[in-house]
Every structure is written in C-alpha cells, then in structure tokens.
C-alpha cells in the first residue's frame, strides 16, 4: 500500500505492507535510526515514538495504522541548530544516560508527559515511564532528569 503520514513535520509517502511494523518503516525506509529496536515485542519501550502526541511502541504498531497521522521521533527534539530540547539537556546534566540505548524511548515518553502535564509529580513520572526499561541507570537519574525539566528537582 501507499502509506502517507507526517513524520517530524515532514509529509512522507512510502510503499509498504500495511502490516509491517512502524519501527521498521522509520528505521529501514526513512533512515530515522534514532528510534531503537530492542525486544521487538512491545516490552522494553526502546522503540517509543509519538503518534498524534501519544507514546506508542512502534515495534508492534502496524504501519498501516498511522495513515494520515503525525509521528514524532527523537530526531524531532533538538532545534534546527542542534540545540538540545530541555528534557535532553536534563538527561545530559543529570547523567541519565549510560549506554544510551533506552534513551530515545525515555525521551519520547517524557516529552508526551511534559506536554500534557508540565509539572508532573514524581509518582506520575514513574507511572508514565513504567513501559520503558533501562538496564543501566537504576532509573533514579532518569527520574531526576525529568524532575529537573519541570523545575521541581530542588
């Protein structure tokens, strides 16, 4: 099928099997490799992208579902001059990145949360991140980074 959608403010049309996972379309066809392929089973959150502002596991989302929708990937976060978004800068400042494999997924989940609720409580942050797994950090620096992005980390 010819599949048209918007990704990172760009209209694209790709020739795909509608059952192909969105993750594969993003990585293999559109070369948006910032979104990571981890478990490929909807368990780890490494593949999280935003579909009309909501975080989804793109590894288990059939691409055909996103026809006409707005997709945002981690490549959308930095400004045109490469300036990091506030949540990205917080991750750097709070040492919330170790191997970095999980980071794009965490950033996209937190972007959706902070756009919906700019000042979430720690419990809300932890709840929102329940579908994102990290094997390196122990999560506390990630939560600290999210709180810092809200200005509520003191």
Is residue 138 within the footprint of ligand FES (CB under 6 A)? no
Query: 10 or 135: whose CB is closer to ligand FES?
Result: 135
CA-nearest of 134, 139, 147, 5 to 71 is 5
CA proximity to 58, closest of 48, 67, 68: 48
At its nearest, how many Å lie between ligand FES and the CB of residue 105? Answer: 8
Asked if residue 47 binds ligand FES (CB under 6 A), the reply is: yes
Site pattern 66..105 for ligand FES (x: CB under 6 A): -------------------------------xxxxxx---
143: left (phi over 0), alpha (psi -120 to 50) or beta: alpha
Is residue 32 near ligand FES by the rule CB under 6 A?
A: no
Nearer to ligand FES, 92 or 119 (CB): 92
Q: With CB under 6 A as the contact rule, which of the stretches 61-69, 108-116, 121-129, 130-138 interacts with ligand FES?
A: 130-138
DSSP state of 76: G
Place of tokens 């599949």: 3
Q: What share of the chain is helix, strand, coil (3-state, %, to 5)?
A: 40, 15, 45
Coil vs helix vs strand at 133? coil
Residue 127 engages ligand FES in binding (rule: CB under 6 A): no
Q: Give the shortest CB-79-to-ligand FES separation in angstroms.
A: 24
State both tokens at 151.
């200005």
Residue with tokens 């950090």, as numbered in its chain: 137
Residues that bind ligand FES (CB under 6 A): 37-40, 42-47, 57, 59, 97-102, 134-137
């Amino acid at each position: 099928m010819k599949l048209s959608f918007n990704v990172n403010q760009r209209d694209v049309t790709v020739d795909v099997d509608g059952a192909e996972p969105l993750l594969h379309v993003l990585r293999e066809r559109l070369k948006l490799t910032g979104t990571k392929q981890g478990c490929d089973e909807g368990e780890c959150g490494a593949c999280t992208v935003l579909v009309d502002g909501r975080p989804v596991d793109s590894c288990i989302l059939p691409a055909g579902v996103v026809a006409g929708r707005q997709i945002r990937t981690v490549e959308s976060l930095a400004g045109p001059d490469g300036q990091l978004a506030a949540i990205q800068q917080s991750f750097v400042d709070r040492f919330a990145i170790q191997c970095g494999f999980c980071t794009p997924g965490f950033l996209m989940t937190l972007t959706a949360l902070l756009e919906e609720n700019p000042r979430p409580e720690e419990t809300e942050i932890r709840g929102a991140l329940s579908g994102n797994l990290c094997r390196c950090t122990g999560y506390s620096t990630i939560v600290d980074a999210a709180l810092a992005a809200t200005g509520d980390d003191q």
